[in-house]
């Protein structure tokens, strides 16, 4: 056991093999009662020493839809005090020279996940202080009727980073050398923080995994979504009425709304959300999120922040292969995706993709559009607009489900160098290459420590991309024939 003093009081953590961990440490007061739809407030100080031995409560959420729930790790621990974080640090760093800090923002489409799914031991083992955080999800974090404080989930992330700034030195971390990184909604959050004025100065480097700066809806779209949500829930269209509803009904209405968006992705119904199928996401409110993040970044927001971005080769297959629906997708579906996802010439895009994938099903073609439109192209746009950005692509393919390939979220256990645990085995299988995990984990740490992950930065001439696979190496402009269809 070991103890550290925070701004709210002492916390007691555990030490195993030279790594000290502190779990479930509150960075904000419980967002319940009058605080339900307000900006995060500091936690109440405590007397004595608070045990930080186990992961804390998680944000209210439902389950991942089947059969994806069998592949993606998730833990739900109900309770009010869920604005908490976890810290892993080399034991010798406490009271010693400050180490670089890495802050992980979890994914889950802004409705699932928690910082308590992940174990930062490998990062601390290799010399950095690792932090994972929670934030408000779904209705609690992103529902907005046009009144009150928007983007509460993003404000929670900023509050967690402020806690890191104020407290991490006591854990052996350097508050001036913080790297934020996240995957999926966590990657989208990372890009949003790059564009958020309130997050300026809270981090010096960022890694966007399978995310991008293209996710944020207009105020009008947010109100459309919120009003439809209230109708599904059967309450008046305001936050007070939503807060008074049964907690399980709130989650059930979230799922029903998501199903409606997926079934009828029409702009007249959902506005911006029709293009990305995420009814709960940041809203462009003009202050917290002043504009579309990728536009703000292109205009110079966080130009002094080091950046690494990337995606997986078959992101979209996670949403089709596990259900076995890919071979059943009719030919018109790729055309719909090409149009709604922003291809410059949808019909020509389908024809060109078909030319290079003549042996694949229409479902595989749809998954390729999802991969490039929602993940790869946004990552490359960030790299093109932010000089000195490093780009990667993860290509190792999972053997677990036929056609799963290098799907969405598959790279996470490699980044964490955590292939041995049962947590990820359903996705990776029992024989995933440990050498690849070691190489990726090292690149992420090298970037956090030095700003250089070990390969050339991306530019318009070479488009250097580190391809991670059983044999990894730098490639120049992988699949240019696909990339060009999504350029803006």
Contacts of 446 (CB under 8 A, 6+ apart): 452, 453, 454
Say yes or no: 181 and 110 in one domain: yes
Domain coverage including residue 146: 2-217+281-298
Domain for residue 234, yes or no? no
- Strand, coil or helix: what is 367? helix
* Phi then psi dihedrals of residue 172, to 5 deg: 95, 10
pLDDT at 339 (0 to 100): 84
Domain for residue 275, yes or no? no
Say yes or no: 170 and 21 in one domain: yes
CA 275 to chain centre: 18
Residue 467 in tokens: 């391809």
* 384-401 per-residue burial string, b: 16 or more CB within 10 A, e: under 16: bbbeebbbbbbbbbbebb
Please state the rounded mean pLDDT for residues 395-413. 97
Compute the distance between CA of residue 328 and CA of residue 308 in angstroms, rounded to an integer: 37
Show which of 240, 272, 298 is a domain's final residue.
Answer: 298
Give 344's pLDDT tier (boundaries 50, 70, 90). Answer: confident
Domain for residue 267, yes or no? no
Strands 464-468 and 390-394: parallel
User: ∠ CA(99), CA(101), CA(103), 5° rounding?
Assistant: 165
Catalytic residue from among 21, 184, 204, 385:
184
Residue 480 in tokens: 């240019």
End-to-end Cα spacing for the chain: 54
Closest C-alpha among 312, 343, 337 to residue 436: 312
- Strand, coil or helix: what is 166? helix
Say yes or no: 86 and 150 in one domain: yes
Compute the distance between CA of residue 398 and CA of residue 315 in angstroms, rounded to an integer: 12
pLDDT at 422 (0 to 100): 80
* 254-288 per-residue burial string, b: 16 or more CB within 10 A, e: under 16: beebbebbeeebeeeebbbbbbbbbbbbbbbbeeb
Say yes or no: 105 and 69 in one domain: yes
pLDDT at 46 (0 to 100): 98
Please state the rounded mean pLDDT for residues 123-146. 98
The whole-chain average pLDDT of the chain stands at 96
- Strand, coil or helix: what is 43? coil
Residue 315 is a catalytic residue? yes
Say yes or no: 32 and 179 in one domain: yes
Say yes or no: 294 and 331 in one domain: no
Total number of domains in the chain: 2
Say yes or no: 45 and 157 in one domain: yes
Give 353's pLDDT tier (boundaries 50, 70, 90). Answer: very high
Q: What is the CATH number of the domain that holds 480?
A: 3.40.50.1820
Say yes or no: 290 and 338 in one domain: no
Catalytic residue from among 281, 294, 315, 393:
315
Residue 302 is a catalytic residue? no
Residue 184 is a catalytic residue? yes
Say yes or no: 286 and 318 in one domain: no
Domain for residue 77, yes or no? yes
**DSSP code for 458:** P
Give 265's pLDDT tier (boundaries 50, 70, 90). Answer: confident
Catalytic residue from among 106, 214, 386, 408:
408
Say yes or no: 428 and 290 in one domain: no
Show which of 270, 298, 326 is a domain's final residue.
Answer: 298
Domain for residue 265, yes or no? no
- Which H or E run contains 199? none
Neighbours of 311 (CB within 10 A): 28
- Strand, coil or helix: what is 12? strand
Compute the distance between CA of residue 148 and CA of residue 152 in angstroms, rounded to an integer: 10
């Amino acid at each position: 056991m070991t103890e550290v003093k925070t701004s709210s009081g002492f916390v007691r953590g555990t030490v195993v093999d030279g790594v000290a961990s502190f779990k479930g440490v509150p960075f904000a007061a419980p967002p319940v009662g009058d605080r339900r739809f307000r900006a995060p407030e500091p936690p109440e100080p405590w007397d004595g020493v608070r045990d930080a031995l186990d992961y804390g409560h998680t944000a209210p959420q439902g389950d991942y839809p089947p059969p994806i729930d069998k592949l993606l790790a998730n833990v739900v621990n109900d309770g009010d005090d869920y604005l908490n974080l976890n810290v892993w640090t080399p034991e010798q760093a406490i009271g010693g020279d400050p180490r670089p800090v890495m802050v992980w923002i979890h994914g889950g489409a802004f409705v699932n996940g928690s910082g308590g799914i992940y174990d930062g031991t490998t990062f601390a083992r290799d010399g950095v202080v690792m932090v994972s955080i929670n934030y408000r999800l779904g209705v609690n974090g992103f529902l907005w009727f046009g009144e009150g404080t928007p983007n509460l989930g993003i404000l929670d992330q900023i509050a967690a980073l402020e806690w890191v700034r104020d407290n991490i030195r006591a854990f052996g971390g350097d508050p001036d050398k913080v790297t934020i990184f996240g995957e999926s909604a966590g990657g989208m959050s990372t890009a949003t923080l790059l564009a958020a004025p309130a997050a300026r100065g809270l981090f010096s480097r960022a890694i966007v995994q399978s995310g991008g700066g293209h996710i944020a809806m207009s105020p009008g779209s947010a109100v459309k979504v919120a009003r439809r949500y209230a109708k599904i829930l059967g309450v008046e269209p305001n936050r007070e009425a939503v807060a008074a509803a049964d907690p399980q009904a709130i989650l059930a209405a979230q799922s029903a709304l998501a199903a409606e968006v997926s079934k009828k992705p029409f702009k007249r119904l959902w506005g911006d959300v029709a293009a990305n199928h995420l009814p709960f996401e940041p809203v462009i409110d003009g202050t917290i999120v002043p504009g579309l993040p990728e536009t703000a970044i292109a205009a110079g927001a966080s130009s002094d922040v080091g950046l690494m971005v990337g995606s997986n080769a078959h992101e979209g297959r996670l949403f089709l292969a596990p259900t076995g629906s890919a071979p059943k997708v009719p030919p018109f579906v790729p055309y719909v995706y090409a149009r709604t996802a922003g291809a410059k010439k949808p019909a020509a895009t389908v024809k060109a993709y078909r030319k290079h994938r003549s042996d694949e099903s229409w479902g595989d073609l749809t998954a390729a559009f999802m991969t490039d439109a929602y993940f790869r192209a946004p990552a490359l746009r960030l790299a093109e607009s932010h000089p000195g950005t490093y780009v990667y692509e993860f290509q190792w393919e999972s053997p677990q489900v036929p056609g799963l390939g290098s799907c969405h979220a598959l790279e996470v256990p490699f980044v964490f160098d955590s292939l041995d645990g049962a947590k990820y085995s359903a996705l990776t299988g029992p024989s995933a290459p440990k050498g690849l995990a070691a190489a990726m984990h090292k690149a992420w740490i090298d970037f956090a420590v030095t700003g250089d992950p070990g390969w050339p930065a991306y530019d318009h001439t070479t488009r250097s991309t580190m391809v991670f696979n059983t044999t990894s190496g730098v490639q120049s402009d992988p699949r240019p024939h696909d990339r060009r269809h999504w350029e803006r």
